[in-house]
Structure 1
């Protein structure tokens, strides 16, 4: 009987704790549709304390992945030390994009859709490293949820839950909200999927806070521009409201602008505007982003937005002495390799020549491997747009893009990212956790010819690329993928030499004719040889070879010695190599004709300044002739078919075939 009484008492205490928690999970929105996409910029979770202005030191919020691969384990942990609920007892957690603005900021699209769970614990961040199995130890409150998914009974059991709540199907406009009727029994707490109410009590009670909206109309500013910052409250203020803000972010600070960063909305009014002027200096600081951060507001106010980021375009960018791949120059940039770098390949042929090359570019005592995150820094230098030092030059789309526009979310529109010329899925190399470390050129791995994984971050085989175009290329072989329609094809020789390098550098890789399906093989060799021959290495490519050499202490030999390609894959296979053919000799003998196929404008590019061009039909009939400057267009008026261009310069003549679409 005594035991039974004890059990009854324990049950009573457990029920009492369940219905009188100090802090609970008040609202969850795991899947939003505000932006008309799947990025989930506006997802959030909201906590509620029993008393207002409650200090959350000692609490930790943990998100659990209920998928098969997630194994009911943690994927995100938030330490709540230093955070306090507001006058209504609420703490809102979400991204910068959420309105009202959250007290605790997380990245967009951090909260998974479900079937998953979120749980509040007494404890520390270190108690829940990623992959920690859900537990009831020190559990304060938990919510299992989904977006029209099956119940994860295993996850619910681990957390002591009996119900999983459905927010709605994918891209819904609901949130899951907690309601308490205050009766303190098993039916007191209910959860409803309804219209979100972030930073407001779900039942509409509580103090109505006056929201403050910050407005900066433009997205980009040039040095010397002035712009207005306007602050507007939802209701007129009942006493003077002093607002302080800052614009500092990274290298952008108070030395970069003038204007007051404190304003006052007078009693009875609801708006104030101040003007900021960006200083036009003479320093090349690169494009920068300032972040407008509003200082903490009085308890009766809340920010509707904050951390507004705007770009300042630096007009002091540097123009390189050499051209872009669309306007190539030759001979301005010289290779930075030691004078004897290629001596060991002299008088060799066939497999011995290939092995000697590999011994140079995969020497484990010299060559370094960097992380995949280091590649971002490498590309910002190696692929810098010669016409604007604040941009990278995008392979395939043949255009500059701001270095600041590196893709950091799932949205790749208007961004650039890292393109593997020899795709991961074809090669079989992958990332490891340490690849996420962006630790600079002086921290590196030792690497050798068998270190295939290091191909994932080999700067010679990665290029800055337009986000959507990178996705479009996907893992296609070259020849299957020929670049965007209407581009000049200035990338073709570059990517050909890039993937040919990979065969020599890594033992597990090879370039084959056709479109192979075996891991480690890539095609099409015939296409790549044609691209190499018709698009010789220019100053842009030599410069990037020099930059990558600084990081990896190896070079792409097919940029320094282009004719090596013929001795390994082309017309001179089996012949003995001698170090007499340089990139300069190759350029003198090679003329680039593009685009091919062509619609109505044909361009001639090479080392010389002027070319005489004669157009012939496929039957050999002369159709037209002109003398053109380098990279000038030859306007065509031809029907669909095959034609030939006879190109003459400095007593040397070369004939090239082209196709009119």
Structure 2
């Protein structure tokens, strides 16, 4: 009798353990369902296991914005550049998340700074399953949809410039910097005289096609009120041309990606100062501050300035007989081929995101003049990935 009871008890224990195991196995099986199509998307877990560069659709809950490999913020979002998805709306372990790069064309609708109410909502996204922030990710997204509404057409192609950066995918640090240099290197150069007409196009005032907008003052001024007069506009080298002593020679001295129309007097005051916070406000350019060793532009163009400086440090790397321009965290760089202050420029880059005017300007330079782009306008996240 005791032997029978032992057998019954053993059978009961076996059945209990088997049932418990099956009950835990079902969710895992369900989480693996999905073929990566729009109608049958991958789960986040599945997408994390298939980081092979293929284009797939992933579905998950919005749990925050990645700002570093192991950091996801859930409030006070710094910009609209990225979001993190997870299979659970309450997930806090970054290893169970996937980081989604948000192309500029989708940021107004899906960036968390502009749309904080997306937190906790289920989202579908189609893109390339490849590393982002050195973490499993979705890049070059071509479609987004809030599952309970807010759809975009999944057949919409990604922005045409995404393929321009294909050789930089999956890279970070110096490898990314080198890859971007190779992409934007050897651009078509202009003469310094040709820069006048180019700036009349790139910096045209959208509210008045007869005018240009001046960088530091924000003043709208006639396209042809240029030269050396007190209230004329002239050609400002945002990377000060004495930092490396390249002057106005073709190449760095005429590169439209860092040349901007600026009031003559204000340009003179800025001189060859490095960029940093603080100083006295400029009497002719409210919102701009300067002292003996640095210049702080107005808030509306702080990010523009930072991204122009980032571009120069990547475009000119010392090959083909060109200068090697580099960033440092100093001021008073003088004639050395350095520009600062890097930590402040990174702050400005985050503080003042890319806007429509920058995008338009980047496109015009690419299509009409130089044939190269500023990567930090197209992919603002590259700055943190390099520096």
Deviation at 1:542, TM superposition (A): 0.5
Distance 1:337 1:375, change over 3 A: farther
**Counterpart pick for 1:486 among 280, 286, 298:** 286
* Pairwise CA distance, 1:472: 0.8
Q: Deviations over 1:505-552 (max 9, x none)?
A: 001101110213461001111111111110001000100101111200
Q: Which residue of 1 aligns with 2:212?
A: 392
Q: Distance in 2 between matches of 1:520 and 1:335?
A: 37
Q: Distance in 1 between matches of 2:180 and 2:345?
A: 20
CA distance, structure 2, for counterparts of residue 462 and residue 481 of structure 1: 24
Structure 2 CA distance, aligned partners of 1:421 and 1:454?
14
SS in 1 for 2:372: coil
Paired with 1:456 and 1:495, the residues of 2 have a C-alpha distance of 16
Match of 1:538 in 2: 355
In structure 2, C-alpha distance between the alignment counterparts of 1:528 and 1:339, rounded to whole Å? 25
Q: 2: distance between equivalents of 1:385 and 1:431?
A: 25
Q: Which has the higher contact order (CA 8 A, sep 6+)?
A: 2
Match of 1:561 in 2: 379
> SS at 2:300's partner residue?
coil
* 1:554-593 alignment, distance < 5 Å: 554-569=372-387
TM-score, normalised to structure 2's length? 0.52
Match status 1:370 vs 2:190: yes
Q: Distance in 1 between matches of 2:313 and 2:247?
A: 17
More strand by share: 1
Q: For residue 491 of structure 1, report the CA deviation from its aligned partner.
A: 1.3
CA shift for structure 1 position 339: 4.2
Counterpart among 164, 175, 179 of residue 352 in structure 1:
175
Deviation readout 1:355-393 (Å, 9 max, x if unpaired):
11001000x3xx211111111111101111111111000
Per the alignment, do residues 523 and 349 of structure 1 end up closer, same or farther by CA in structure 2, a change over 3 Å counting? same
Q: Secondary structure at the match of 1:530?
A: helix
Deviations, residues 260-297 of structure 1 (Å, cap 9, x unaligned): xxxxxxxxxxxxxxxxxxxxxxxxxxxxxxxxxxxxxx
User: Following the alignment from structure 1 to structure 2, what is the Cα–Cα distance between the partners of residues 500 and 354?
Assistant: 10
1:502 to 312, 327, 333: 312
For residues 339 and 313 of structure 2, the distance between their equivalents in structure 1, rounded to whole angstroms, comes to: 9
**Kept in 2: contact 1:461–1:502 (CA 8 A):** yes
Corresponding residue number in structure 2 for 1:468: 265
8 Å contact from structure 1 (residues 335, 546) kept in 2: no
* Equivalent residues of 2:329, 2:341 under 8 A apart: yes
User: Cα distance 1:499–1:337, how it changes in 2: closer, same or farther (>3 A)?
Assistant: farther
User: What is the rounded CA distance, in whole Å, between the counterparts of 1:427 and 1:500 in structure 2?
Assistant: 15
Taking the TM superposition and a 5 Å limit, the aligned residue runs for 1:128-527 are 338-362=161-185, 364=186, 367-407=187-227, 410=228, 412-431=229-248, 454-479=251-276, 484=282, 486-487=286-287, 488-507=298-317, 508-515=324-331, 516-517=333-334, 519-527=336-344
Tell me, yes or no, if the aligned pair for 1:378 and 1:547 is still in contact at 8 Å. Answer: no
How far off its partner does 1:426 sit? Answer: 1.1
Q: How far is 1:338 from its partner?
A: 3.8
- Secondary structure at the counterpart of residue 368 of structure 1: coil
Q: 1:498 to 1:558 in 2, by over 3 A?
A: same
Aligned in 2, Cα 1:514/1:335: closer, same or farther, shift over 3 Å? farther
Q: CA 1:468–1:481 in 2, change beyond 3 Å: closer, same or farther?
A: farther
Give yes or no for contact 1:335–1:542 (8 Å, CA) kept in 2: no
Counterparts of 1:466 and 1:547, CA distance in 2: 22
How many aligned residue pairs are there?
211
Q: How far does the alpha carbon of each residue in 1:467-520 deviate from its partner, in whole angstroms, 9 at most, with x for none?
A: 110011011011167774633521111011001100000011011102134610
CA distance in 1, matches of 2:158, 2:357: 11
Deviations 1:42-89 (A, max 9, x none): xxxxxxxxxxxxxxxxxxxxxxxxxxxxxxxxxxxxxxxxxxxxxxxx
Please, what is the CA RMSD of the aligned residues?
A: 2.3
Residue 123 of structure 2 corresponds to which residue in structure 1?
Answer: none
> Separation in 1 of the partners of 2:194 and 2:278?
27
Distance in 1 between residues matched to 2:376 and 2:328, nearest whole Å:
17
Greater helix content:
2
**Structure 2 unaligned spans of 5+:** 1-113, 115-156, 288-297, 318-323
2-structure distance, mates of 1:520, 1:369: 20
Does residue 548 of structure 1 match 2:365? yes
Please give the per-residue CA displacement for 1:131-184, whole angstroms capped at 9, x wherever unaligned: xxxxxxxxxxxxxxxxxxxxxxxxxxxxxxxxxxxxxxxxxxxxxxxxxxxxxx
- Partners of 1:463 and 1:536 in 2: how far apart? 18
